[in-house]
Amino acid sequence: MKVLAAMSGGVDSAVAAARAVEAGHEVVGVHLALSRMPGTLRTGSRGCCTIEDSTDAWKACEKLGIPYYVWDFSERFKEDVVEDFVAEYAAGRTPNPCMRCNERIKFAALLEKALALGFDAVCTGHYARVTQDAEGNFELHRANDWAKDQSYVLGVLTHEQLKHSMFPLADAQSKAEVRAEAGRRGLSVAKKPDSHDICFISDGDTAGWLAEKIEMTPGAIVDETGATVGAHTGANQFTVGQRRGLKLGTPAADGKPRFVLEIRPKDNTVVVGPQKLLAIDDLRGIKVSWAGEPIPAVARGEEFDCMAQVRAHGEPVAATAWMEPGSGDAGSVDAGSGDVAETGPQLVVRLKEPLRGVAPGQTVVLYQGTRVLGQATIDAARSLQRASAEPASTQLTAE
């Protein structure tokens, strides 16, 4: 096959490309320039898409004896990932930029261009597996190394995209094995640190970065009863589940710490309360997509058992899920705006074990065994304990 290897400049993509070459494929390496003003050097394990990363990608391709190109996707990345990230925070939601990057850049823009140029597949260093069932339908599964498994951030891939996706590290037993292989192959990135945090916020200060992009307006911090307990300089700097940095003027009656339960950008209010009220039982998701062909229960409109995961390395919990048709008359209350609006089809996920700190804007990915079924962006969440503890008008969601 003719394979386009996405070369980030890290060890995973370099070894993935090496394995594709060794398998006999015709491989071409490409590094995506995602910033018009890349930094010269990385700061330890922070940041990516720097000049150093581009150079490391070139060195890996030279070692492997494959062509190397740099494609400028900076404008597309700015619009589809960075600006989306800012807009989501401005609306009081907590987005996952890695999901958007995989969805809109690596497996939309990049794959689209690769297919147009005659490539059969895009190869990346993600730890995940693509398989085919008895009918030849493509499925996405977890990698062997669950500690490094990245199937969560690939949950946005469609059946058509999975047909043209190649993940050579699916069988890797550990990251140490991949680094050792890179060393044996003479790849200079064998000991290069992994990237962490958000790639376009290289210093890791998300709140400071957002403060330069979003107008911060002072407002009230209230408890779960609606009583004012403090003030903030901008609701956008908080995230659901946050404990530190609240600077509350009124301590809790029981003396225990309080956590951010909700962010309401419509009235610029931050709601705080005890940790127990962070427990979420029900999720309602929008922008639903299926990783491969939907399972029969989805097509029949039936409930199905699954495991739900809401963070890249979070523990999946048992759940029951089903699709609910949209309504032009009423919708769930949006956790960010408080508005009731027309809704399209939504994924409802009823958790059998509560999850803490779930925020609108996060992604819920559903699994059956190792298989990724699909994903949705969390639009609203509901805590049964919180619903019984406060008036309906102050709940995170309403039905």
Residues classed as catalytic: 101, 199
Cα 388 to chain centroid, rounded: 31
- Give one DSSP letter per residue of 56-105, joined into a string: HHHHHHHHHT--EEEEE-HHHHIIIIIHHHHHHHHTT----HHHHHIIII
Is 366:307 a contact under the CB 8 Å cutoff? yes
Contact 291, 155 (CB under 8 A): yes
Burial 196-210 (b: 16+ CB within 10 A, else e): eebbbbbeeeebebb
Other beta carbons less than 10 A from residue 80's beta carbon: 19
Q: What span, in angstroms and rounded, lies between the C-alpha atoms of 367 and 191? A: 33
Calpha distance 328→341 (Å, rounded): 8
Cβ atoms of residues 61 and 67 within 8 Å: yes
Tell me the β-bridge partners of 71.
Answer: 32
Which alpha helices (H) appear in 216-331, and where do they start and end? Answer: 296-299
